[in-house]
Amino acid sequence: MELGPANVADASTPPPTGTDPRQTHAETWFETVLDHGFVELIDVIGDDRRCVAAARVSLRREQLSLADHGAEQVERDKGLLARLVRDRHTSPFEHAVFQFRVRAPIFVVRQWFRHRFASYNEESARYTKLEDEFHLPAHLRIRVGKAMDYRYEAMPEPENAALLAAIQAVYDDARQLYERLLERGVAREHARLVLPVAQFTTFFWTVNALSLMNFLNLRNAPHAQAEIQAYAEVIEAMFRDRMPWTHAAFRAHWGPGSIG
Ligand SMILES: Cc1cc2nc3c(=O)[nH]c(=O)nc-3n(C[C@H](O)[C@H](O)[C@H](O)COP(=O)(O)OP(=O)(O)OC[C@H]3O[C@@H](n4cnc5c(N)ncnc54)[C@H](O)[C@@H]3O)c2cc1C
């Protein structure tokens, strides 16, 4: 996937109305994911150099990294940062913080929220009427092989199309009943009971670089479910762009296939 800050929303984007979750903001980096989802990088506090400076404070040398951006100092900072990652001296990476807005199906969000070292706020299905958006994959996966030693294959056509149509019919029925319950005055907190976990929802995710790397290690990995991996790929591209030194060290020392 080709990703980059070039995809930042055009500055001529009209101001948000406050109700459409897909509406982007002028200064953010917005990428669509799955059929109705997205990742929006809203803000970043800190960078590679800030994390090195945090580490150098132990020898009262933080000013070197904060003030001296000359070539020699950059090399020293990169080297120290790589050692910090390699040796799991992790606390300096808590000093860079990323803030995202994410729209994803509930089954993905459920996996995401297991990552406890982060802050979350999610759209409320008690207080708002959820949008008519459900994830429908293009191809259903079949699991082939034994437990602990399996692979996925695409469901062959025409069965794939027939089963997807059956799933869509369930979504349509669920949505119709949801609307009917709301029309009858049933509270939103009860009407939502009929909605499937493919329902899309939006949340804010504020996470430091250390916890973000843990997320990427587990979710942008071959054994992660493909849907959350699609989000993790986008997030990794954003992380790589904002913290390239840390990212390089992370993938050299923590990524799948390395010491893990
Ligand atoms: C492929 C895959 C399959 C999974 N399957 C399941 C499943 O079937 N069922 C299920 O329930 N979960 C499952 N999980 C979720 C998994 O067990 C973790 O809860 C999730 O990945 C969050 O990881 P984490 O705890 O490292 O992250 P965080 O919660 O962000 O924690 C970060 C780190 O902090 C430390 N930490 C956090 N809390 C504690 C604590 N209470 N005590 C000690 N140290 C702590 C740990 O070192 C942890 O790695 C799965 C995850 C993956 C990637």
Residue in 50, 103, 175, 219 annotated catalytic: 219
Cis peptide before 158 (omega within 30 of 0): yes
Check if the beta carbon of residue 22 is closer than 8 Å to that of residue 35: no
Q: Sketch the domain layout of the chain as residue ranges.
A: 5-10+23-129+200-253, 141-194
**CA of 243: how far to CAs of 22, 96, 113, 136, 137, in Å?**
26, 9, 24, 34, 32
For the CA of 223, the nearest atom of ligand 1: 1
DSSP 8: B
Is 109 strand, coil or helix?
helix
At 178, list the tokens: 């949801």
Crossing angle of helices 244-253 and 71-86, in 10° steps, is 40
219 carries an active-site annotation:
yes
Q: How many residues does the chain have?
A: 260
Report residue 150's pLDDT band, with 50, 70 and 90 as the boundaries.
Answer: confident
How many whole angstroms separate alpha carbon 260 and alpha carbon 252?
Answer: 10
Tell me the mean pLDDT in the region 237-251: 97
Mapped onto helix, strand or coil, the DSSP state of residue 16 is coil
* Burial call 35-59: b when 16+ CB within 10 Å, e when fewer: ebbbbbbbebebbbbbbbbbbbeee
Index of the ligand 1 atom closest to the CA of residue 117: 30
Cα(214) to centroid(ligand 1), Å: 9
Q: How confident is the model at residue 16 (pLDDT cuts 50, 70, 90)?
A: low
Confidence of residue 25 (pLDDT cuts 50, 70, 90): low
CB of 74 shorter than 6 A to ligand 1: no
Using the mean position of ligand 1's atoms as its centre, give its distance from the Cα of residue 52 in Å.
27
Tokens of 223: 């054994």
Q: Is 224 in the pocket of ligand 1 (CB under 6 A)?
A: yes
Q: Among 109, 218, 229, name the best residue to mutate to test ligand 1's pocket (greatest count of ligand atoms within 8 A of Cβ).
A: 218
The reported pTM is 0.91
Using 50, 70 and 90 to split pLDDT, how confident is the model at 61? confident
DSSP element (H, E) containing 60: none
Instruction: Report whether residue 232 contacts ligand 1, using a CB cutoff of 6 Å.
Output: no
pLDDT at 122 > cutoff 50: yes
The pLDDT of residue 4 is: 53
DSSP annotation string for 182-225: HHTT--HHHHGGG--TTBEEEEEEEEEHHHHHHHHHHHSSTTS-
Q: Which one is the CATH code of 5-10+23-129+200-253: 3.20.20.70, 3.40.50.150, 3.40.50.720, 3.30.1360.170?
A: 3.30.1360.170
pLDDT at 20: 77
